[in-house]
Structure 1
C-alpha cells in the first residue's frame, strides 16, 4: 500500500501575493461601481448659486417690528437675486439683505442701531474713509477697503445703514442703493 503524504494546507493567516492582488482588484471594482452609480444619480444644477430667496415677506414682517425705517429694494434688476435675508428683532434690531448681481457679484445691506464705526469695523474690516458720495440727493460716507471693496454708510439718529461689496463695481452699488425704499 502506498500512502501519499497529505496535501499541505495553506495557512489562513498568511495569504499569498496572488490572494492580495485578487482582493485589491475585487475591492477596486466595487469602489469603481459605487462611484459610477453615484455619478449617474447626481444631477448638477445649471445655476449652482440657486434661486432668489424671497425677501418681501421678511421685510414686511421686520418693518412691523423695527423701530427705524427699514430699507429693502422695491425691485431688483433682471437676473439679480437675493441670496440671504434675516432680521433680529431684539438688541440692535439687525437687518441683513444679501444680493448677487447678474455677474454673481455680492452686495450686502446691513441696518442696525449701532454707530457707523462699529458697522464698518464689523462688515468692512480695514476700510478707510474715502470721502462722500451723493446718490439721488442722499449723501453717503464712502469707505474703501484694502481689497478694493466699497462700503457706503449713512448714519441717522434712528439707525445706521451700511451697503458693502467686495466684488461689485461702484455702478452696481449705486443701482442697488437707488432701489432701496421703505414701505
Structure 2
C-alpha cells in the first residue's frame, strides 16, 4: 500500500495538470451561417479574415418570431466576443446581449459606419442598427477586440453552403 501511495504521489507531482483550465473547443459555423443567411429577414453578418487565434466557440440561429443569429469567439487574449443579430425589438435585445451595458452616447467609426458604444460591468459592446436588424458585437474583450471583429463583419451569401 505504501508503494502504491508513493507511485501515485510521484505521478501527481510530476505530471502537469491544471484543473482550472478548460479546453476551448473550436466549432465550424459554415452550415449554420448558410442556413441563417437563407432564412433571416436581414443580411446575416459573420467575420471574414480574422486571424487563426480567434476561435469560434458557439453558433446558433433561431428563426420565426424571435429571429436571432449568434456567433461567439474566444479571442487571442482569452476573452469572449460575440456577434449577435436580430430583427426584433432592439431595446430588450441590446440589454440582454450586453448584460445591461449602458449607452455611453459615444460612437466608434468602424467600416465607414457609426456604431454606438456601450459599457458595462461584465460586457462592453458596439451596436449598429441598419437593414432591419440590430447587430451587437459584445463581450468581455477590450474595445480594440470588439472593433477588430466589427471590422471583419461581412454579409453571408444566401447561397453559401
- TM-score computed with the length of structure 1 as normaliser: 0.70
Change (3 A) 1:48 1:92: same
Q: Which has the higher contact order (CA 8 A, sep 6+)?
A: 2
Query: How big is each residue's C-alpha offset from its partner over 1:98-121, in whole Å with a ceiling of 9 and x where there is no partner?
Result: 001112210011111123321222
1:150 Cα deviation (Å)?
Answer: 1.4
2:118 and 2:124 in contact (8 A); partners too? yes
For the pair shown, which has the larger CA radius of gyration, 1 or 2? 1
RMSD between aligned residues? 2.8
Deviation of the 1:152 alpha carbon = 1.0
Q: Deviations over 1:9-52 (max 9, x none)?
A: xxxxxxxxxxxxxxxxx9xxxxx7xx99xx8xxx979x842341
Gaps of at least 5 residues in structure 2 are 157-161
Describe how 1:41-60 pairs up with structure 2 within 5 A: 48-60=22-34
Structure 1 segments of 4+ aligned residues over 2 angstroms from their partners: 47-51
2:110 match: 135
- Whichever structure has more strand as a proportion of its residues is 2
TM-score, length basis structure 2 = 0.78
> How many positions carry a matched residue from both structures?
148
